[in-house]
Structure 1
Amino acid sequence: MSKSQADQLRAENEALKRKIAELEQRDKAPARGPGRHFRLMADNSPDLLWAKDINLRYTFVNKALCDVILGIFEPEEVIGRTDAELADLCNKAHPDIPNYNTFGSICEDSDQQIIKNKKPMRFDETGYAAGKYVALDVYKAPIIDEDGELVGVVGSARVVTAERRAEEALRESRRLLEEERNLFLDGPVVVFKWKNAADWPVEYVSRNVEKVLGYPVTDFTSGKILYKQLLHPDDLLRVTREIEYYIQENTASYQHQPYRLRTASGEYIWVTDNTTVVRDDKGTIRHFTGYIIDITGQKHAEEALNRSETLFRAIIEQSGEGIGLANSEGDYILVNPKFCEMSGYTEEELLKMNVRDLIVPGTELVLFPRALRGQAGSREFPLLRKDGSTLYVEVAGYPIILGGDRLVLGIVRDIEERIQAEKERLQLEAQIQQAQKLESLGVLAGGIAHDFNNLLTGILGNAGLAALEISQTSPAVASIKNIETTAVRAAELCRQLLAYSGKGRFVLQAVNVNELVEEMTHLLNASISKKVIIKYNFAKNLAAIEVDTG
């Protein structure tokens, strides 16, 4: 630094010290005259007032500034300090409150702009003072002495916290309103204003009409396109009559039944129309306002649902098997004609009944043991019909959740024929087993008969030889004849056993039943008690019959 520059700096410092001394002497002097009035006015002003020297140290502050910004200082305690120093003191005095005072750097930044630009300026300053959010509308200006030198900054501020918050809330409200407006105008709802004239010319239509119908706004507002021209021919008469009816009934607003509008591509879309009738004080209709909504997707979904329901109903009603839908308690909520036929009840009757009503009393049956656990299952049991008879059925149960309700779909199949066929099969198997047993017995009997026949041959032969060797007057002759007769009968029995077993054959011959019975006497006499007397009463001239004498 040169000597001249140093001398100049010392001179400026001396001049500043003299001005500060003069201000301090003035402050110490008794307040009277205009100065006293200014101080009184400043301290009672709701606005913040101050003055600073070139070093941005306060030379004057009013009470409002101390109350609003500093909170813990009186005006005389502020003089000679900077904003940064005061903010630091405030924050140290309240360490438990973060950001107790943030105006230190904010105020000095705007002061520097005044010093740099040397002209009055206005600022919006926001921060925390005394621990509270504060918004200030600040006006600052440079202090120029009589020599034209900048010696400080003077300023005033008004607390506008409530106004700024209201402005911010208003801006946010407008922003949201604009977003909603854009969302509305870009959405599927098209706003119209129709003239009260023939063919319903359009005075106003929202911009999204081009997105929905394909026509630019000007085509409607210029009259190039009349709204009535867009209606589907099949809907035009109905919509016209609806409008005439609502006008005649003096209705303020109404909703049309859905109708179709032609788009720019030539296709038709379904819309729903909500209209308000605007009248003047005399009740004369000025115009109509309203909006339309494209419900084509909804309409197609409804049509698809109706087709699905029709198909479902046809499948249910035409099914060759019984179908019943019941809730978790077993109450029927849907039955098909086949199930009605199987049970003997009408649909109305079944819809008032429970599954248990169709179960034979005494049958131990747990209702929906698997379906209520979310699993499919099936079982067989006799169904109790309306007339008291039973029908054996197989029921396949499937779990269904509809609108939060747990339901069970039952497919009922008539298995009466299958059960009967099963019984017949078991009977046939029993008969086959019996035949096999008989066949085995026949084989066994044939073997025994063959061996026994061989023994009888020996008996007959020896009996014949014995008859030849003894005298015909011997008492033994009768016994030998009985032996021969019995052996012959036994041989004939063996022959029948062989015929039964398939190893012999039956021989039919005419015999007299009386003689046949009388021959049995000898056998009976040998096997019954001697005390028993056998008497015969044979019919005379009894006709012969053909039998196998074996």
Structure 2
Amino acid sequence: MTFLADPPTDRLAALELELRRYRELFEASAEGLYRIDYEPPVSVDLPVDEQVARLLASGRAAVANPALARMYGFTSPEELIGLAVADFLDAESPTTRATLEAFVRQGHRIEGFETEGRDRSGRARCFLNAASGIVENGCLVSIWGSQRDLTEEKRTLERLRSSEERFARAFELNPGAISISRLEDGVFVDVNRAFAETIGLPREQLIGRSGHELNLWATPEEREKVVRLVRLKGFARRVPARVRNASGELRRAQISAMPIEIEGRACLLVLAEDVSEIERATEALRRSEALFRAAADGSLDAFFVLEAVRDAGERIVDFSFVDLNCRGERFIGRERSEVIGARLCQLLPVNRQRGYFQRYVQVLETGRVLEEEFLVSSPGQRERWLRHQVVPLEDGVAIWTRDVTERRQAAEERRRLELGVQNAQRLESLGVLAGGVAHDFNNLLTGIQGYADLARRKAGTASPVAPLLEEILLGVRRAADLTQKMLAFAGGGQLDLEWVALNEAVSEMVELVQVGFPERCRLELALARPGPGLEADPTQLRQVALNLIMNATEALGAEGGSVVVTTGETTCDGARLERSVLGRERDEGRYAFLRVADEGCGMSEEVRHRIFDPFFSTKFTGRGLGMAAVLGIVRAHRGAIEIDSAPGQGSVVTVLLPLAMRPARAGA
């Protein structure tokens, strides 16, 4: 009998050391290492398709290192143990099946094949693999393999490919003339379509030849200057140069360049901008601006160009000065250097205070030209009338301003003279008319009065007609009195002045008017309490009220409406009197007013200007004396008249008469 001795202790120790080293190498490897066991084993005699199906179905991970666990998103290799092959590989992927078929056909060995799978979170991964099968008794029992994660490398390559593709597309489609040439000799490596079109040669005739050979540079020194700047600064930007095209024409260009490396060779990436047309246009613009400046400075108008200043929400908050002419400098009293770039409303706050700024904004937003005249007054300076025209620009406005004070003053003086002549003619016409009417009317009244007196005497006081005859005589006396008063206001006759309570005079006239007032019309009173008093001729004052009320009633037409009679006191300053009829001749102060408002058809501007003309009437049956009489009476009483009316919006006529204190009673 023979006995085998146990291995020596040192041999076991060496073996354990070797195993530990392999384990450390296995654990520390950057590549994923694994072993897949098959239970039951897969017969190598089965058809290829059947073997592939069993390789995917029955294999499970038996050994894995940390690198493999990290590739699939696990924290430790133990989490992989027991997982099926289908958990690592995409079983439906054609790449996976093709790889496994190659593995079987190559004797259950394969190297350098790529597989596709997903990590623990479902993200797609790509791996480079090597695998070797362990075959025992005609069956595959295990596969040892290694794999490297190619996912980021693939992504980097794809980004690089995409970047190169984008660069090539941008290079070719860029409208600028771009070329790539060798740094040392200027031989073209590539050019884009725009460069070929600019030079006038096909791409094939440019590549492989230098700019010097093609005689593209006006002088060699111009290219050398670009190269020198690139070597010194690392770039060249908009260097002026002259470039010759295929037809021999010299074009002005601006050259920008930077160094790049292609296949280990230093090259220049060059962008050439043809500025010939731009320079010609710039010169034409310079000449045009010089002509414009000469015309602007020679203009009689102050001229300004303003640019809109906007906030973050694109709302216009101010304008800034872009340009102005010499007269503009004098107009605002500042030098051009002080004005350019300044904010309009900061430099001249009056523009915001008086609403000019908002009108400029409206011009820019609507695109409509604004023309207007307005009054400007400053402390210590005389009032000036200005006329300006505001024209919209792309993002601003242009303003022409002219002082029209003298023209307006001349026109106003002419208007006053014409008005004076018209008033004199009107009064003369009224005087002639009133004299004729009064003469004939007095003759008629004399007859009526004589026969009425005779009838009253014959009838006696006991007769039932006596009161009626008395009323006739009373009416005759009033008519005669009215005739005399017509002569007074129209011909400048004497007024019978006395203190009159305006409310009482108006009320008396309203009582008479209401007797024959149309049913379709409403007469409303709004009399101030206590009412104002004035020194006036009561008969003529009632005549004013009558004429205004009758005019207002007739303006209502067939539709009817309201006539409102208002009295009160008011303060009139110079500006208000200036706007009124006869107001220029009156003093500022307190006035009584009689106002008659209607809801009628209103008046056009032309009618308002002629309303006081003698014999002017808009009514077919009118005589045109009612408002002329009102004007004469108001003038005689040192008053004024305000008219506010527009077509379709009714009319408001306000008579202003000087207030007067009631005289103290005798013995009081």
TM-score, normalising length from structure 1? 0.50
Paired residue for 1:434?
A: 424
Paired residue for 1:210?
A: 196
Q: For residue 202 of structure 1, what is the amino acid of its counterpart?
A: G
SS in 2 for 1:172: helix
After superposition, where does 1:276-355 map in structure 2 within 5 Å? Answer: 289=268, 291-296=270-275, 302=282, 306=286, 309=289, 313=293, 316-317=296-297, 319-326=299-306, 332-340=321-329, 347=336
**Structure 2 residue runs without a partner (length 5+):** 1-11, 28-32, 43-53, 261-265, 309-316, 441-668
1:120 aligns with 2:120: no
SS in 2 for 1:369: helix
SS in 2 for 1:206: strand
Paired residue for 1:173?
A: 160
| C-alpha displacement of 1:335 | 2.0
1:156 aligns with 2:141: no
Q: For residue 304 of structure 2, what is the amino acid of its counterpart?
A: G
Q: For residue 301 of structure 2, what is the amino acid of its counterpart?
A: E
Quote the Cα distance in structure 2 between the aligned partners of 1:381 and 1:227.
Answer: 72
Deviations 1:104-161 (CA, angstroms, capped at 9, x unpaired): 6677774455345645334312323544765443334566667xxx522653332412
TM-aligned CA distance change 1:145 to 1:49, over 3 Å: closer
Contact 1:342 1:385 in 2 (8 A): no
SS in 2 for 1:202: coil
After superposition, where does 1:95-110 map in structure 2 within 5 Å? Answer: 110=99
1:273 aligns with 2:263: no
Quote the Cα distance in structure 1 between the aligned partners of 2:379 and 2:228.
Answer: 55
Quote the Cα distance in structure 2 between the aligned partners of 1:75 and 1:335.
Answer: 82
Deviations 1:207-265 (CA, angstroms, capped at 9, x unpaired): 22424423356756776863794456xxx69x759949979x98876556433423225
Contact 1:359 1:383 in 2 (8 A): no
Q: For residue 244 of structure 2, what is the amino acid of its counterpart?
A: R
Quote the Cα distance in structure 2 between the aligned partners of 1:434 and 1:228.
Answer: 96
Quote the Cα distance in structure 2 between the aligned partners of 1:142 and 1:40.
Answer: 24
Paired residue for 1:425?
A: 415
TM-aligned CA distance change 1:388 to 1:124, over 3 Å: same
Contact 1:261 1:271 in 2 (8 A): yes
Q: For residue 204 of structure 1, what is the amino acid of its counterpart?
A: F
| C-alpha displacement of 1:353 | 10
Quote the Cα distance in structure 2 between the aligned partners of 1:342 and 1:60.
Answer: 94
Report the aligned-residue RMSD.
Answer: 5.8
Quote the Cα distance in structure 2 between the aligned partners of 1:125 and 1:211.
Answer: 48
SS in 2 for 1:427: helix
Q: For residue 128 of structure 1, what is the amino acid of its counterpart?
A: R
Q: For residue 263 of structure 1, what is the amino acid of its counterpart?
A: N
SS in 2 for 1:393: strand
Deviations 1:351-384 (CA, angstroms, capped at 9, x unpaired): 6896899899xx9833423223545645423456
Q: For residue 270 of structure 2, what is the amino acid of its counterpart?
A: Y
TM-aligned CA distance change 1:390 to 1:193, over 3 Å: farther
| C-alpha displacement of 1:434 | 0.6
Contact 1:344 1:386 in 2 (8 A): no
SS in 1 for 2:191: coil
After superposition, where does 1:223-238 map in structure 2 within 5 Å? Answer: 226=212, 229-231=215-217
Contact 2:236 2:258 in 1 (8 A): yes
Contact 1:271 1:292 in 2 (8 A): no
| C-alpha displacement of 1:431 | 1.0
Paired residue for 1:62?
A: 63
After superposition, where does 1:490-501 map in structure 2 within 5 Å? Answer: none
SS in 2 for 1:264: coil
Identity %: 15
Paired residue for 1:139?
A: 130
| C-alpha displacement of 1:424 | 0.3
Q: For residue 324 of structure 1, what is the amino acid of its counterpart?
A: F
Rg bigger for which structure? 1
1:365 corresponds, among 354, 365, 376, to: 354
SS in 2 for 1:272: strand
SS in 1 for 2:358: coil
Q: For residue 428 of structure 2, what is the amino acid of its counterpart?
A: L
SS in 1 for 2:166: helix
TM-aligned CA distance change 1:379 to 1:145, over 3 Å: same
TM-aligned CA distance change 1:156 to 1:210, over 3 Å: farther
Contact 1:141 1:153 in 2 (8 A): no
Contact 2:318 2:343 in 1 (8 A): no
Moved more, 111-120 or 165-174: 111-120
Contact 2:181 2:269 in 1 (8 A): yes
Quote the Cα distance in structure 1 between the aligned partners of 2:357 and 2:412.
Answer: 27
Q: For residue 427 of structure 1, what is the amino acid of its counterpart?
A: L
TM-aligned CA distance change 1:168 to 1:262, over 3 Å: same
Quote the Cα distance in structure 2 between the aligned partners of 1:299 and 1:414.
Answer: 41
Quote the Cα distance in structure 1 between the aligned partners of 2:289 and 2:343.
Answer: 24
Quote the Cα distance in structure 2 between the aligned partners of 1:40 and 1:312.
Answer: 94
Contact 2:255 2:273 in 1 (8 A): no
Quote the Cα distance in structure 2 between the aligned partners of 1:305 and 1:231.
Answer: 29
| C-alpha displacement of 1:169 | 1.4
Contact 2:239 2:256 in 1 (8 A): no
Quote the Cα distance in structure 2 between the aligned partners of 1:427 and 1:145.
Answer: 134
After superposition, where does 1:33-48 map in structure 2 within 5 Å? Answer: 45-46=26-27, 47-48=33-34
Q: For residue 323 of structure 2, what is the amino acid of its counterpart?
A: L
| C-alpha displacement of 1:411 | 2.3
How many residue pairs get aligned? The number is 377
Paired residue for 1:413?
A: 402
Paired residue for 1:394?
A: 387
SS in 2 for 1:62: strand
TM-aligned CA distance change 1:333 to 1:70, over 3 Å: closer
TM-aligned CA distance change 1:138 to 1:348, over 3 Å: closer
| C-alpha displacement of 1:412 | 1.3
